[in-house]
Chains A and B, each alone.
Chain A
Amino acid sequence: MITLDAVPLGSTVRVSTRMLPTADQRRLTELGLGHGARVEVLRRAPFGGPLALRLIHGGLLALRRCEAARIIVIVTEAVTND
């Protein structure tokens, strides 16, 4: 268990608990970050900007780090050095 913002780049995680207001959680769900969604953390924007995530079932999303810090995830595939 770790928050999404702390996941090393390149890892794949599963979304567990989202500690965000209802409207924001709904929005996340609509865009594919529902409970149980699997995502790969791709990159971070400069100056502490948003995270870029790849949904394993298709699509790229960007999410601010402060919001990512309130999403608890389970790492399913740790970063591989290839």
Chain B
Amino acid sequence: MTEQRRPGSGAVTRRAAVALVGNPNVGKSSLFNQLTGSRQHVANWPGKTVERHVGTCRLGAVDVEVVDLPGTYSLAGGSPEEQVAAALTDADLDVVVIVLDGTNLERNLFLAAEVAELGRPLVAVLNLTDAAARDGLVLDDVALGRALGAPVVRTVARTGLGLDELRATLEPLVGADDTNTDAPGGQTEHLSPHRGTGVLDAQTADAAVPPLPIAYGDEVDGELQRLVARLSVLDLDVQGDARWWALRLLEGNPEATRRVAASSDGARLAAEAAAAAARIHTSSGVAAALVLADRRYAWAHRVAAATVERSPAPRSHTDRLDAVLLHPWLGLPVFLTLMWLTFTLVVEVADPFIGWIEGLTEGPLARIVASALALVGLGDTWVEGALVDGLLPGLGAVLVFLPVLTMLYLALGVLEDSGYMARAAFLMDRVMAPIGLSGRSFLPLLLGFGCNVPGVYATRVLERRRDRVLTGLLLPFVSCAARLPVYVLLATVFFAGASGTVVFAMYLLSIATVLAVGAVLDRILLRDEQASSFILELPDYRRPGLRVLRHYVGQRVGAFVRQAGPVILVGAVGVWLLLAIPIGGSGSFTDTDLDESAFAATSRVLAPTLVPAGFGSTEVTGTLLTGMVAKEIMVATFWQVFDVEPPEELDETPTLADDLVEVGTGFLAATRDAVLAVPTMLGLELHVDQDVNDTSTLAAPLRAGLTASSGGHPLAAALALMVFVLLYLPCFATIGALRQELGIRWALLSVALSLSTAWLGATIVFQVGRLLAGLLGGG
């Protein structure tokens, strides 16, 4: 706790910090929301992509900072356990609140034991007591309090029941009861009879309740004592109980070992701990970490046996639901229906809102900005160009994602909080296992067929970071709906009669690429993070809490605007700049011919790299560049770069405004087309856009252009180009999403990976196609 004297006021403001810790699915987020209301924010842990939820609540005269730690089953593993352990040993922490699931006490007590061993002020919250009562469980919170040496508060966090008692229990622990040093209200006293009592009290109590500290057996306890003695004489830069650190050292916890070894003379101690662990391993025949875990498990089992009384209960609603949802035959159709509903909700229900936002940024907003600039004498200058043609479409491109992502997070929140997502993972595990992914990856990849961006954000449902990285790297290879108009254009021009088959083949290639790249990445890139055992909790089905959902959706959408928004904006403005800057020629800034712009110059420089794939012309390269903003913009760009005679020469006025307005409308079209993408994928119907269908004027120059660049093999070049469009760079929005979810390094790796895969794929297709054409004597 820290005290600060406010300058001038003379009043003392006290601050305190409380951490919430618990297993996943115990209602921790509900409790956090009940405690902090709307006074909360999300930030990342320093240097991590794991989120840190912090809120404040006022207890008496003290402002209490409440940290909601990620759900975890123990403190021993890697992420997120590492962050939880670090937060719990933070010097500024005043109270630890362990949240326990009343329906599942035995498993929850494993983590509770690890947390209680910290020796920090502890409050136990016994949550979901309503569900426990329904399951026929009678919970003895007095015995539980004795075992943990901590006050126990019974709550139903979703409805707020017990929250007043929790606040009253926390008050003295954060020093908020100065004005009332007597015991608080009788009701609270009744509900948490063991406040302030601890281990000493427990030793005189019921022998059936094993008190802390856990006895680990003579040998382990002896080693622990020696380590504790050594730890306490060292000047260590660590917080918390020496015994807790000794336990972590014996377990071989890498983070604890690193922290201790970093202290002066700590390296020798860490080595001694390793030797002690080896001795335990030798004498017991199992690793020291397992000896400790089994003892802790036995303790949890005994405490649960002494505190939980079972009476026969009717078959639970979870059992009844699972009988259908996990049924060998019914389970899969229900799963596919739910996934389809989610997909439809994300791409279709959001659609009208997208149109509205689109209209707003294109029309009224653009006009307002233009007239405002005219008022201050900047009309028709580069400033207007930059704002109306560069920044505003970029802003529109950010805004159109808000409805999509709102729907996405709503759907994810419901699937996750209801307990269904774990069932989806169970059902699809066998299908996803060959590419090293769990069943949970199915939904993100499915969403990717609509738009890669919500797909990337849906990787959040994956529990392991390794799975999130792998799924995120695979998503750009999933053929999003924005790529469909490009396939349709090329297929109609070059493969008339078989266009449907060719487009369908692109979807098959997309799936094949995901499988192949997934298998390769799983074995090479992520080998060090190899999937450990698949063990999954199937939580009880619960009604999602609306408050938690609302906070979740708001936070996620806000994070998108802050973190991916800038990437999209910079990308859109960057393409505008390329088009506006003159290189040579007679143009001036924002008033330059397309073929004299930096854009054309960049295209010319990059074009030779695409010659082996058969489409290394300035026109196609430029088109591919604009496709980075949004893939279906390429269709509009094709018209601009080819629709004039002769095709080698470009239109003198590149209708800059039209092109950049496409930045925004492109996303609209993408999402609209998303609805049509899946029937196409299933071969049911091929949606051909009206103006794309009318390719009569574009066909000849496009054919001539590819014939020239491919040395007379336009079909092979067209097919290679389609493959390239399928596989090359994720659009700016996807890069922004990847950066937000995985960090900048993985986002850049994704760019490199997709670019090289696309180049390789397109080159192979073109060269093989050319060879075959040569053998068959055709073109």
A34 x B103 contact (CB < 8 A): no
List chain B residues, Cβ under 8 A from A21: 532-533
Q: For chain A residues 25-72, which have a beta carbon within 8 Å of chain B? A: 25-37, 42-50, 52, 55, 57-64, 67
Closest to B305 in A: A57
Minimal beta-carbon separation of A53 from chain B (angstroms): 9
In Å, the complex CA distance between A47 and B743 comes to 35
In Å, the complex CA distance between A46 and B429 comes to 9
A32 x B107 contact (CB < 8 A): yes
B293 at the interface (CB under 8 A from A): yes
In Å, the complex CA distance between A29 and B286 comes to 14
Closest to A18 in B: B290
Among A24, A60, A64, which residue has the most Cβ atoms of chain B within 10 A? A60
List chain B residues, Cβ under 8 A from A24: 532-533, 535
A52 x B532 contact (CB < 8 A): no
Stretch at the interface among B197-205, B324-332, B481-489, B670-678: B324-332
A31 x B293 contact (CB < 8 A): no
List chain A residues, Cβ under 8 A from B290: 22, 25-26, 29
Minimal beta-carbon separation of B505 from chain A (angstroms): 26
List chain B residues, Cβ under 8 A from A33: 535
In Å, the complex CA distance between A50 and B57 comes to 43
Interface string of B530-546 (1 = CB under 8 A from A): 00111111111000000
B536 x A26 contact (CB < 8 A): no
List chain A residues, Cβ under 8 A from B425: 62
In Å, the complex CA distance between A22 and B298 comes to 18
In Å, the complex CA distance between A58 and B540 comes to 10
In Å, the complex CA distance between A57 and B106 comes to 7
In Å, the complex CA distance between A6 and B339 comes to 32
List chain B residues, Cβ under 8 A from A47: 430-431
Which one of B105, B298, B536 contacts A62 once the chains associate, using CB atoms below 8 Å? Answer: B536
Q: For chain B residues 330-350, which have a beta carbon within 8 Å of chain A? A: 331-332
In Å, the complex CA distance between A3 and B376 comes to 81
B294 x A49 contact (CB < 8 A): no
Interface size range of chain B in the complex? 35 or more
In Å, the complex CA distance between A55 and B107 comes to 10
Which one of A36, A46, A48 contacts B331 once the chains associate, using CB atoms below 8 Å? Answer: A46
Interface string of B271-308 (1 = CB under 8 A from A): 00000000000000011011001101110010010001
A45 x B430 contact (CB < 8 A): yes
List chain A residues, Cβ under 8 A from B431: 47
B535 x A31 contact (CB < 8 A): yes
A58 x B106 contact (CB < 8 A): yes
In Å, the complex CA distance between A60 and B104 comes to 10
List chain A residues, Cβ under 8 A from B298: 34, 36
B392 at the interface (CB under 8 A from A): no
A1 at the interface (CB under 8 A from B): no
In Å, the complex CA distance between A33 and B422 comes to 18
List chain B residues, Cβ under 8 A from A52: 322, 326, 426, 538
B332 x A46 contact (CB < 8 A): yes
In Å, the complex CA distance between A61 and B331 comes to 17
List chain B residues, Cβ under 8 A from A62: 422, 425-426, 429, 534-538
B427 at the interface (CB under 8 A from A): yes
In Å, the complex CA distance between A63 and B304 comes to 24
A79 at the interface (CB under 8 A from B): no
B110 at the interface (CB under 8 A from A): yes
List chain A residues, Cβ under 8 A from B535: 24, 27-28, 31, 33, 61-63, 67
Closest to A33 in B: B535
List chain A residues, Cβ under 8 A from B428: 49
B318 at the interface (CB under 8 A from A): yes
Q: For chain B residues 376-430, which have a beta carbon within 8 Å of chain A? A: 422, 425-430
Which one of A25, A57, A60 contacts B537 once the chains associate, using CB atoms below 8 Å? Answer: A60
Minimal beta-carbon separation of B527 from chain A (angstroms): 16
Among A22, A35, A37, A46, which residue has the most Cβ atoms of chain B within 10 A? A46
Closest to B326 in A: A43
A20 at the interface (CB under 8 A from B): yes
A30 x B110 contact (CB < 8 A): yes
Q: For chain B residues 238-293, which have a beta carbon within 8 Å of chain A? A: 286-287, 289-290, 293
Which one of A25, A27, A31, A35 contacts B107 once the chains associate, using CB atoms below 8 Å? Answer: A31
Interface string of B502-544 (1 = CB under 8 A from A): 0000000000000000000000000000001111111110000
Which one of A25, A37, A58, A61 contacts B103 once the chains associate, using CB atoms below 8 Å? Answer: A58
Closest to A62 in B: B536
A34-B422 contact in complex given A46-B427, A50-B534, A58-B107, C-beta closer than 8 Å: no
A48 x B538 contact (CB < 8 A): no
Minimal beta-carbon separation of B472 from chain A (angstroms): 23
A20 x B533 contact (CB < 8 A): yes
Which one of B286, B301, B318, B534 contacts A34 once the chains associate, using CB atoms below 8 Å? Answer: B301
B731 at the interface (CB under 8 A from A): no
List chain B residues, Cβ under 8 A from A42: 322
In Å, the complex CA distance between A33 and B322 comes to 21
In Å, the complex CA distance between A32 and B298 comes to 10
List chain B residues, Cβ under 8 A from A35: 294, 297
In Å, the complex CA distance between A45 and B326 comes to 7
List chain A residues, Cβ under 8 A from B709: none
In Å, the complex CA distance between A80 and B433 comes to 33
Which one of B74, B308, B430 contacts A30 once the chains associate, using CB atoms below 8 Å? Answer: B74
Minimal beta-carbon separation of A42 from chain B (angstroms): 8
List chain A residues, Cβ under 8 A from B540: 60
A50 x B429 contact (CB < 8 A): yes
List chain A residues, Cβ under 8 A from B286: 22
B216 at the interface (CB under 8 A from A): no
A26 x B289 contact (CB < 8 A): yes
List chain B residues, Cβ under 8 A from A34: 293-294, 297-298, 301
Closest to B75 in A: A30
Which one of A27, A29, A31, A45 contacts B426 once the chains associate, using CB atoms below 8 Å? Answer: A45
In Å, the complex CA distance between A20 and B403 comes to 46
Minimal beta-carbon separation of B190 from chain A (angstroms): 27
In Å, the complex CA distance between A34 and B297 comes to 7
List chain B residues, Cβ under 8 A from A44: 328
List chain B residues, Cβ under 8 A from A46: 328, 331-332, 427, 430
A29 x B294 contact (CB < 8 A): yes
B88 at the interface (CB under 8 A from A): no
Minimal beta-carbon separation of A16 from chain B (angstroms): 13
In Å, the complex CA distance between A22 and B430 comes to 24
B478 at the interface (CB under 8 A from A): no
Which one of B106, B433, B532 contacts A23 once the chains associate, using CB atoms below 8 Å? Answer: B532
List chain A residues, Cβ under 8 A from B328: 43-44, 46
Listed A/B pairs (30) with beta-carbon separation below 8 Å:
A22-B286, A22-B289, A23-B77, A23-B532, A23-B533, A24-B532, A25-B290, A26-B290, A27-B535, A29-B297, A31-B73, A36-B301, A42-B322, A43-B326, A45-B326, A46-B332, A48-B430, A49-B427, A49-B429, A52-B322, A52-B326, A52-B538, A59-B537, A60-B537, A60-B540, A61-B537, A61-B538, A62-B425, A64-B429, A67-B534
In the complex, given contacts A28-B535, A64-B433, what are 19 additional A-B residue pairs having Cβ atoms less than 8 angstroms apart? A22-B287, A22-B290, A25-B290, A29-B290, A29-B293, A30-B74, A30-B111, A31-B537, A32-B107, A35-B297, A37-B297, A47-B431, A52-B426, A57-B106, A57-B308, A59-B107, A59-B537, A62-B534, A62-B538
**Considering the complex of A and B, which 4 residue pairs feature the smallest CB-CB distances, nearest first?**
A34-B297, A24-B533, A49-B430, A60-B538
